[in-house]
Amino acid sequence: MLRTLHLIKHGKPQIVPGVPAHEWELAEDALDGLDALIACLRPLPQLVVSSFEPKAQATAAALAAALSVPHRPMHGLHEQLRYTSPFHMNQADFEAEMRSFFEHPAQIVSGEESADDARTRFGNAVHAVLAANPQECIAVVAHGTVISSLVAHANGIDPWPLWRGLGLLDVVTVDVPGLRAREPMT
């Protein structure tokens, strides 16, 4: 029996230079697109799980409340570890770093975790969520880099265009088992 997994990128963070990204909260207007996101979720999730990062937890809590379903944070769903990665005010510099991250998945390009290591850790956590929760449809609210890496790997596609195209409060829906994307990915 196929199950549905919605992998959702958190809402817009309140960027605070000098504060690590994993500590950022949501911006005031971060959830303005929540109704549009919900309209894309078919079927609707019966459970929302998230990383412990504040921006993901707050997004997941709002989604779960709007759907009247439980929300559970879980370890291992966090973004690629970037404690020592410099803050980039310039989007082009950040994108160049991310492109290198995806092009050299076995190497630690920035931060403390390679793309392969982040994908494996995130994938293990996603599979643990699925194993522990029998619902036919689950939403996981997490982060763009790990979502893109996992989905691209499972579907044999390049993660870079997927990452670039995945917006805030955006979703990639996959079938379980196999994590096969429901819509063609570039």
Q: For 83-92, which contacts have Cβ atoms below 8 Å and span 24 or more sequence positions? A: 83/20, 83/22, 83/111, 83/112, 84/111, 84/112, 85/110, 85/111, 87/17, 87/18, 89/17
Residue 44 has what DSSP assignment? P
pLDDT, tens digit, 9 for 90 and up, residues 128-138: 999 999 999 99
Please, what are the domains in the chain?
3-179 (3.40.50.1240)
Residue 9 bridge partners (DSSP)? 142
Task: Work out the number of other CB atoms within 10 angstroms of the CB of residue 68.
Answer: 7
With CA atoms as reference, report the closest residue to 78 among 60, 102, 52, 101. Answer: 52
* Percentage above 70 pLDDT, the chain: 97
Q: What is the mean pLDDT of residues 66-92?
A: 89
Report the C-alpha gap between 6 and 169 in whole angstroms.
Answer: 12
Report the C-alpha gap between 74 and 56 in whole angstroms.
Answer: 11
Per-residue pLDDT at 86 exceeds 90: no
Specify the pLDDT at position 83: 82
165 backbone φψ class: left, alpha, beta (φ>0; ψ -120 to 50):
alpha
Higher-pLDDT residue of 82 and 158 is 158
Angle at 153 between CA 47 and CA 82, to 5 degrees: 75
Q: Residue 184: pLDDT band by 50, 70, 90 thresholds?
A: low
Q: Residue 67: pLDDT band by 50, 70, 90 thresholds?
A: very high
Per-residue pLDDT at 123 exceeds 70: yes
Specify the pLDDT at position 94: 87
Specify the pLDDT at position 185: 64
Specify the pLDDT at position 45: 98
Specify the pLDDT at position 18: 84
pLDDT averaged over the chain?
Answer: 94
pLDDT, tens digit, 9 for 90 and up, residues 1-18: 799 999 999 999 999 888
Say whether the peptide bond before residue 70 is cis (omega within 30 degrees of 0).
Answer: no
Q: Residue 99: pLDDT band by 50, 70, 90 thresholds?
A: very high
